[in-house]
Structure 1
Amino acid sequence: MMRLRMGPWFIACVLSILFVAKGTVTYVHAESGPSAQTSVLPKPTNLKVLPMALSLPDVYTRMAQMQKDLGVDCSFCHDQDPDSKQINYASDENPRKETARAMMRMTQDINEKYLGTLGDRQYSPPITCGNCHLGQMHPPQFEGK
């Protein structure tokens, strides 16, 4: 079973207090006192499936869910510089990013076009990547009895 790896940047984002100001997000790391660090992050760019109006905390929440659902880290879909290890979230260089977009569109279609027409959503909750991937990078092969 693959374990979810969360880098210090991701953990800092999750544990941070987010402040939205002038198109950027400033977050204060979980530590407090004189050694506390603040960082300014740009608004997300190159969103092709997620709504452009989505707030940065909402983008992080959705990405964290996908990480959990697939058992991967950010660099699985996003381009990462091999030397600096910095992730370029806007880049389309990693071919897995387009696969992820196609899968996100498929999930949206299933939820809206098919499950959304069933009426009582109590018996048809929205699906996520985790319904098929089960926390694994690739959906496991179904082995019927």
Structure 2
Amino acid sequence: MILINKKLLVTLGLSTVVVLSAMTAMQPGPQPEMKAKNLKVLPKNISHEQLDHIMGEWSHSLGVRCGFCHAPNPETKKMDFASDAKPEKEMAREMFKMTATINKKYFKAGKDSTGMIMYTGVNCYTCHQGKEHPEVVDAPAPKRMGPPAGAPPQGTPPQGTPPAGTPPNNGR
């Protein structure tokens, strides 16, 4: 009985060493920083995480996936993010510049009544609201002010009413 327990303990100990060694060997070492290519409106020194976050916001705002703006590489069949093959990518750049200009001109960061920094402005979602192309909506017709059309001008007594200053008839 004691011999079985020793074998079991040795087996468990060796198994633990093997598993721990395998787990530490599987931890990735430092990965080289992926540098984005062909950046024309975003900062050249943007981190991969920042770029991924921005692309995620744009994707959500337009309700699209990467292939809407980015073309696949025909050889590798993977997305070629540096390619300018799709006109939607250039449009996205122009829209980014437009929103940046609007925000810089009209929406400056300030502090609210509690001293917290506030920032408001426009972004892709302001117009797109999850759609590839913003919906064009006509402005509603202006509301008519004043009396309804065809009504007598204000101050005109209703028909059958004696003019002001006329004594009452009292049935005579």
Q: Specify the code of the residue in structure 2 equivalent to 1:56.
A: H
Which has the larger strand fraction? 1
Provide the C-alpha distance between the structure 2 equivalents of 1:82 and 1:41, rounded to a whole number of angstroms. 25
CA 1:53–1:96 in structure 2 vs 1: closer, same or farther (change >3 Å)?
Answer: same
1:28-81 CA distance string (max 9 Å, x none): xxxxx69x8978673111110111111110000000000000000001111113
Distance 1:77 1:85 in 2: 16
Which runs of 4 or more aligned residues in structure 1 lie more than 2 Å from their structure 2 counterparts after TM superposition? 36-42, 81-85, 118-124
Q: 1:41 to 1:80 in 2, by over 3 A?
A: farther
Closer, same or farther in 2 for the Cα pair 1:60/1:72, shift >3 Å?
same
* Stretch of structure 1 that moved more, 87-96 or 40-49: 40-49
TM-score, structure 1 normalization: 0.64
Which residue among 117, 123, 133 is the counterpart of 2:128?
133
Give me the whole-angstrom Cα distance separating, in 1, the residues matched to 2:77 and 2:32: 19
The aligned counterpart of 1:46 is 38
Question: Highest CA radius of gyration, 1 or 2?
Answer: 2
Gaps of 5+ in 2: 1-22, 141-172
Amino acid at match of 2:99: T
Amino acid at match of 2:136: Q
Which structure ranks higher in relative contact order (CA pairs < 8 Å, sequence separation ≥ 6)? 1
Q: Out of 137, 141, 160, which is 1:142 matched to?
A: 137
Aligned identity (percent) is 37
TM-score, normalised on structure 2? 0.55
Q: Does 1:95 align with 2:73?
A: no
Q: Go from structure 1 to structure 2 and tell me whether the alpha carbon gap of 1:123 and 1:54 turns closer, same or farther (over 3 Å shift).
A: closer
